[in-house]
Amino acid sequence: MSDLLAARLSMAFSLGFHIIFAAIGMTMPFLMSIAHYKYLKTKDENYLNLTKMWMKGVAILFAVGAVSGTVLSFELGLLWPDFMKWAGPIIGMPFSWEGTAFFLEAVALGLFLYGWNRMNPWVHWFTGVMVGISGFASGIFVVAANAWMNSPQGFQIEGGEIVHVDPFEAMFNPAWLHQSLHMQVAALQAVGLAVAGIHAYLLLKKKSKEIHQKAFVIAMTLAAVCSLLQPLVGHFSAQRVAELQPVKLAAMEGHFHTSSQAPLYLGGIPDPEKEEMVGAIAIPGLLSFLAFNDFDAEVKGLKEFPKKDWPPLLIVHLSFQLMVAIGSFLALVAVLYFFFLYKKSFPPWFLKACVLLSPMGFVAIEAGWVTTEVGRQPWIIYGFMRTSEALTNIPGMSYHFYIFLFLYLFLGAMTAWLLKRLVQHYG
């Protein structure tokens, strides 16, 4: 394995691992607070038990999120020292705000976890909400930092030196809004769906019905609302990418030749030799419309760009298609859910479907990030610095990769085991 590949894989694994816990950390506090709120209002013990059950899960998952996040904050430097040296002063600002948000989150979490019967119940409730708000804020900040890598601004280069740094402009770069929005909705959606799936499973096992019915409705309502929003938000992302990173869009869509009335391909595999899509269903004009709201708009094809600036086509295309397929499907599921909610009864087959669907949101998140990150290649800072230029000059990166791969596999397995015990215990 080359050092570059090993470093990229290390980064991908660390982030792909962390994002799962990050999404949970941004969403669970809100679910918890809803249940907690209902308990405080109705004094229904079911809601209290639910809050505490979720809280135990959050405590475990938060710890894993925190340690993997700590690893990440070092790893950026360990793997890409020149990137950080270069980019640190420019995009440090969202990171420093992120740090503040984490701090508040950690304090609020301590108060929430251990504060039962020690504080005024509503103040205690509010600390739970604060965990969610600060987690959410930190998510936005860190995605803004990532967005800067996709659409860098807020600095100038003179004679190889960075000058006129404007951290504010860098943070609020053209990509920050669509990326943050899409990510935050994705987190709510994916976690809502996963939690709903767990409670659907417990409902099917006919165990203490009422609590799981309540949990299912809270979580699935959140997931369903987000599932309806997400295709719109994703569409907004696609339009921004068309404008900001045309080569990424072309790779996502397998669009080789610049054309107006560009077709949208469903499925298929891009063939870089023949420069065409193989085995795809083409819907004429739809890409032009999706990207620019106009069936006749011209969409730039990959051929406009030198081959050395192309991202790996297959990965980007497939992961994008996977995300969109899941997103569209989940929107349908959401419609069904509201139908059954209105009818006030969920048929077992629907609950079973929810169990099967529970990991889908996370799959879409991973696919989406692969699209974004691999689609940015070969750049680490789009248009300014190549990933290969940023690599540390330290040899033996593959050991780094194996160490962390092992660590994450082990941690992931441990976490799954602990959650299984939690569900067993409460089942």
**N-term to C-term CA, the chain:** 45
The answer to whether residue 145 forms part of the interface with ligand HDD (CB under 6 A) is: no
| d(C-alpha 21, C-alpha 248), whole Å | 27
> What are the contacts of 395-400 at 24+ separation with CB within 8 A?
395/3, 396/3, 397/1, 397/3, 397/4, 397/6, 397/7, 397/10, 397/79, 398/1, 398/3, 398/6, 400/6, 400/7, 400/10, 400/78, 400/79
Q: Which is nearer to another protein, 308 or 425 (CB)?
A: 425
CA dihedral (252, 359, 52, 206) in degrees, to 10, reads 150
Taking CB within 5 to 8 Å according to partner kind, which of ligand HEM, another protein, ligand HDD, none is near residue 135? ligand HEM
Q: Which is nearer to another protein, 279 or 395 (CB)?
A: 395
- Which uninterrupted H or E stretch holds 204? helix 176-204
The answer to whether residue 324 forms part of the interface with ligand HDD (CB under 6 A) is: yes
Taking CB within 5 to 8 Å according to partner kind, which of ligand HDD, another protein, ligand HEM, none is near residue 59? another protein
Taking CB within 5 to 8 Å according to partner kind, which of ligand HDD, another protein, ligand HEM, none is near residue 81? another protein
Q: Strands 156-158, 161-163: parallel, antiparallel or unpaired by DSSP?
A: antiparallel
Instruction: Tell me the residue type at 402.
Output: Y
Query: Footprint of ligand HDD on residues 207-236 (CB under 6 A)?
Result: 230-231, 234-235
| Region from 64-72, 82-90, 255-263, 360-368 binding ligand HDD, contact rule CB under 6 A | 360-368
Angle separating helix axes 360-376 and 3-42, nearest 10 degrees: 140
Taking CB within 5 to 8 Å according to partner kind, which of ligand HDD, another protein, ligand HEM, none is near residue 206? none
| d(C-alpha 123, C-alpha 108), whole Å | 11
Taking CB within 5 to 8 Å according to partner kind, which of ligand HEM, ligand HDD, another protein, none is near residue 21? ligand HEM
Taking CB within 5 to 8 Å according to partner kind, which of another protein, ligand HDD, ligand HEM, none is near residue 179? ligand HDD
**What is the number of residues in the chain?**
427
The answer to whether residue 397 forms part of the interface with ligand HDD (CB under 6 A) is: no
- Interface residue list for ligand HDD (CB under 6 A): 150, 175, 179, 182-183, 186, 189-190, 230-231, 234-235, 237-238, 241, 323-324, 326-328, 330, 361, 364-365, 368-369, 371-372, 375
